[in-house]
Chain A
Amino acid sequence: MNTVTQSKPESVSRMKTLINKSMSAKPVNFQGEMGATVGSIHADNPRITCRNVNVFYAENHAIQDINLDIGTNEVISLIGPSGCGKSTFLRCLNRMNDTVEGCRVSGEIKIDDVDVYSKHLDVVPLRAQVGMVFQKPNPFPKSIYDNIAYGPKIHGLASTKAELDQIVESSLRKAGLWDEVKDRLDQPGTGLSGGQQQRLCIARTLSVEPEVILMDEPCSALDPIATAKIEQLIDELRQRYTIAIVTHSMQQAARVSQRTAYFHLGKLIEVGKTSDVFTNPLHELTQDYITGRFG
């Protein structure tokens, strides 16, 4: 933590020089007193609040002093060049980083006012509440039915076979996959196409009725048609869930999200309404990235 506090003024001054160098002098907005992030870190109706989040992989300081709120029924997209820490940040929210050896997290993350990194917190209900969809579709090597039924079974969400069938069907319907697979529920999920597999994984996540869904580049391995289906799905899911999505596609971020956060080298550089960030970025680094000058 010490190194972090020391680095704050330095990063501010570095940013100032960066801004001074900027060709088109933009108004700089330092809302929220904490650290170097420009734009507003606050959401209207916050469900997740992160304060001073730092992550270390052994000696490597992967993300530094992140402050960010994520609102209810909001899709926030996390963008930035590879290795900037956006996936790491995402994995903090449901403590998936626990499985990485040598990973250390400090700071405060609260979901619905519950401290995620509290010693007393049990990660099992947390992860049921905060679902996650991964970059590469990772269906279990089980049947399509069992892929969806696995979560409800381990959490005891269904007491009868009929209830379980009901959950499976409604999850698959929500993920827009039901019509394609309803006649072959007993076939292995690994036999589906890439886009179908990813929607199966989304359906699996929905089956345990989470409140927050984290998506780590869910479309990076998919073709444009499958991507379009999943983007449409994300838009529909927004009505019921809070969604954070990591993406490398600026267009995707612009299409699906209401707010956008730009990460750079482990720091959160800029947060704002997606329309603002993409049309009128406050920070030079953000502008460079979204106009494709690097990254």
Chain B
Amino acid sequence: MQTPYLLFTLLILSVLAYFIGKRRSVTVVEGALRELHSLPAYYGYYTALWGLIPALFLMLVWLSFEPTWLAHQTVASLPEEIKSLPSSKLNLQLNNIKNVAAGLQVSQRVDPLIVEAAEHYNRLRKISNFALTLVVLTCSLTGIWLAHKKINKDYRARNVVEKIMTGLMILASTIAIFTTVGIVASVVFESLLFFRQVPFFDFLFGLEWSPQTALRADQVGSSGAFGAVPLFAGTLLISSIALIVAVPIGLMSAIYLSEFAGSKFRSTAKPTLEILAGIPTVVYGFFAALTVAPFIRETGELWGWVVSSESALAAGLVMGIMIIPFVSSLSDDVINAVPQSLRDAAYALGATQAETIKQIILPAALPGIVGSILLAASRAIGETMIVVMAAGLAANLTANPLEAVTTVTVQIVTLLVGDQEFDSPKTLSAFALGLMLFVVTLALNVIALHIVRKYREQYE
């Protein structure tokens, strides 16, 4: 039986097991449900879980070891001359066998030896598959039978089911953690490869970014420079412009929405603001490139300034608009969450609305507001599309917002787009940049958390 069908059968079995367990618990006490330790449904769940979880686990283990076993068996059946090939070539042969076995077109003329091996491979797979079906179903049925036998009026099915559910929840929560650890590990590993070729401090403090590597030593422009400072400066510049736009506008609209606006206006204005967050960043990108950037250039020319047609200012402004809803919507929520009793207390002392907001509400809502700004900042730092379209790719080290700059994420994209060799410093530098970005945002988060803990006023 194929795996999806097997899974489906298992599910059906466990559903049946649920009803079997439930019925059994009722018959065991002859309908006197008060005598049962748990509700009948728990005996059902208990039986179903016994039918499902061990079988699933077995299946997982089997499927993860099956390919290795198959490969091993197939190689063992091959003649000595192929078996003695170096492992890379052997793998190639094995791939060929698998392709033929799957019925895929293989470009070159197929060796009869390979065809035979492929048939052997398929036979083995069939056997394995049959055995898997048999073992898994037996396991499931045995589980159900065992659970069924165990049910009596004193058996604490609810406690067992609750324990298993807790275990599942723990598993779910650790998946995210392990994924993060995995991502970080892979990035760190690739970055180490990069730092073997480019010195760490050259990367960290280098002032020039021009990521090319030569194929031959005498090639023109063979000198690659991997100084990340211009990229981080560009990221910082654009993100700062975006935050300068978004934080005051977002905060003020949040304060207006939560403290001044009537409920009718609020209920329409808030969703409308949130629409901004739903616009694809590509759309923002061409708005920035086609509308805002030319406008800035023309305005600049009126004043006699030199403005490049792609500027940090254009990208930053549009990005600022994009992240307004993050600030306004979240801040609005946290300001609303400040208890009305605090407002009443301030008003009853004769505080004006402005005094109440500035001195009572905002301090109480500070952690949430900082959180919303952080979220907006991380969106700004991670944003790529707008920068590609409106700020360009030139890695200038400048603090002038009217010049073209580029950001870390944009460079990562350009480094990895297209056909790349995965061992050149050019490609590997993307991972180093990613790692740096990760470290920087992590540091920002830690600092912000620290600030919040120091200054927050905790209500309840």
Which residues of A approach B to under 8 Å, CB–CB? Answer: 94, 96, 99, 101, 124-129, 131-132, 134, 136, 138-142, 150-151, 154-155, 188, 190, 201, 204-205, 208
Chain B residues with Cβ below 8 Å from A136 are 341
Flag if B341 contacts A134 (CB, 8 Å): yes
| Pick from A138, A151, A188: contact of B458, CB under 8 Å | A188
Q: Within the assembled complex, what's the spacing in Å between the Cα atoms of A154 and B347? A: 11
Q: In terms of DSSP, what is the predominant structure of the interface of chain A?
A: helix
Flag if B349 contacts A127 (CB, 8 Å): yes
B138 at the interface (CB under 8 A from A): no
B5 at the interface (CB under 8 A from A): no
A interface footprint on B344-380 (CB within 8 Å = 1, 0 otherwise): 1111111110010001100110000000000000000
| Pick from B339, B348, B459: contact of A132, CB under 8 Å | B348
Flag if A154 contacts B350 (CB, 8 Å): yes
Flag if B349 contacts A131 (CB, 8 Å): yes
| Pick from A99, A154, A208: contact of B355, CB under 8 Å | A154
Chain B residues with Cβ below 8 Å from A127 are 347-350
Flag if B350 contacts A208 (CB, 8 Å): yes
Residue of A nearest to B355 (CB): A154
| Pick from A101, A124, A141: contact of B350, CB under 8 Å | A124
Q: List 7 other contacts, CB 8 Å, given A94-B348, A205-B349.
A: A101-B262, A124-B351, A127-B349, A134-B345, A141-B457, A204-B345, A208-B350
| Pick from A124, A140, A190: contact of B345, CB under 8 Å | A140
Chain B residues with Cβ below 8 Å from A208 are 349-350
Flag if B344 contacts A141 (CB, 8 Å): no
Chain A residues with Cβ below 8 Å from B342 are 138, 140-141
Q: Within the assembled complex, what's the spacing in Å between the Cα atoms of A205 and B352? A: 16
B263 at the interface (CB under 8 A from A): yes
Q: List 18 A-B contacts (CB under 8 A).
A: A96-B348, A99-B343, A99-B344, A128-B349, A128-B350, A129-B350, A131-B349, A141-B342, A150-B346, A151-B350, A154-B350, A154-B352, A155-B350, A188-B458, A201-B345, A204-B349, A205-B348, A208-B350
Flag if A142 contacts B457 (CB, 8 Å): yes
Residue of B nearest to A214 (CB): B348
Q: Within the assembled complex, what's the spacing in Å between the Cα atoms of A150 and B342? A: 13
Q: Decide yes or no: A141 and B363 within 8 Å by CB, A134-B341, A136-B341, A188-B458 being known contacts.
A: yes
Flag if A138 contacts B345 (CB, 8 Å): yes
B460 at the interface (CB under 8 A from A): yes
Flag if A134 contacts B344 (CB, 8 Å): yes
Flag if B348 contacts A131 (CB, 8 Å): yes
Chain B residues with Cβ below 8 Å from A125 are 350
Chain A residues with Cβ below 8 Å from B364 are 141
A interface footprint on B323-354 (CB within 8 Å = 1, 0 otherwise): 00000000000000001111111111111100
In the complex, which of the residues B339, B341, B349, B360 has the most CB atoms of chain A within 10 Å of its own CB atom?
A: B349
Flag if A96 contacts B347 (CB, 8 Å): yes
B116-157 with Cβ < 8 A to chain A: none
Chain A residues with Cβ below 8 Å from B457 are 140-142, 188
Q: Decide yes or no: A151 and B349 within 8 Å by CB, A96-B344, A101-B262, A101-B263 being known contacts.
A: yes
| Pick from B262, B339, B352, B363: contact of A138, CB under 8 Å | B339
| Pick from A138, A142, A205: contact of B341, CB under 8 Å | A138
Q: Within the assembled complex, what's the spacing in Å between the Cα atoms of A142 and B351? A: 16
A170 to B: closest C-beta gap in Å:
17
Q: Within the assembled complex, what's the spacing in Å between the Cα atoms of A125 and B347? A: 11
Residue of B nearest to A151 (CB): B349
Q: Within the assembled complex, what's the spacing in Å between the Cα atoms of A125 and B340? A: 21
B346 to A: closest C-beta gap in Å:
8
B257-273 with Cβ < 8 A to chain A: 262-263
A37 to B: closest C-beta gap in Å:
28
Chain A residues with Cβ below 8 Å from B459 are 141, 190
B454 to A: closest C-beta gap in Å:
14
Q: Within the assembled complex, what's the spacing in Å between the Cα atoms of A138 and B341? A: 6
Q: Within the assembled complex, what's the spacing in Å between the Cα atoms of A154 and B363? A: 16
Q: Decide yes or no: A154 and B341 within 8 Å by CB, A141-B459, A190-B458, A190-B460 being known contacts.
A: no
Chain B residues with Cβ below 8 Å from A94 are 348
Q: Within the assembled complex, what's the spacing in Å between the Cα atoms of A139 and B458? A: 11
Chain A residues with Cβ below 8 Å from B263 are 101
Residue of A nearest to B349 (CB): A151
Residue of B nearest to A125 (CB): B350
Q: Within the assembled complex, what's the spacing in Å between the Cα atoms of A155 and B346? A: 12
| Pick from B339, B359, B458, B460: contact of A150, CB under 8 Å | B359
Flag if B341 contacts A140 (CB, 8 Å): no
B347 to A: closest C-beta gap in Å:
6
Q: Within the assembled complex, what's the spacing in Å between the Cα atoms of A204 and B350? A: 12
Residue of A nearest to B364 (CB): A141
Flag if B344 contacts A138 (CB, 8 Å): yes
A41 to B: closest C-beta gap in Å:
26
Chain B residues with Cβ below 8 Å from A101 are 262-263
A149 to B: closest C-beta gap in Å:
11
Q: Within the assembled complex, what's the spacing in Å between the Cα atoms of A154 and B364? A: 18
**4 tightest A-B contacts by CB?**
A128-B350, A141-B457, A132-B348, A138-B341
Chain B residues with Cβ below 8 Å from A190 are 458-460
Residue of B nearest to A155 (CB): B350
Q: Within the assembled complex, what's the spacing in Å between the Cα atoms of A109 and B339? A: 29
Chain A residues with Cβ below 8 Å from B344 are 96, 99, 132, 134, 138
Residue of A nearest to B345 (CB): A138
Chain B residues with Cβ below 8 Å from A99 are 340, 343-344, 347
Chain A residues with Cβ below 8 Å from B360 are 140
Q: Within the assembled complex, what's the spacing in Å between the Cα atoms of A152 and B389? A: 55
Chain A residues with Cβ below 8 Å from B347 are 96, 99, 127
Q: Within the assembled complex, what's the spacing in Å between the Cα atoms of A129 and B348? A: 9
Q: Within the assembled complex, what's the spacing in Å between the Cα atoms of A132 and B341? A: 12
Q: Decide yes or no: A124 and B341 within 8 Å by CB, A96-B347, A99-B347, A188-B458 being known contacts.
A: no
| Pick from A141, A142, A150, A188: contact of B349, CB under 8 Å | A150
Chain B residues with Cβ below 8 Å from A139 are 345
In the complex, which of the residues A136, A151, A188 has the most CB atoms of chain B within 10 Å of its own CB atom?
A: A151
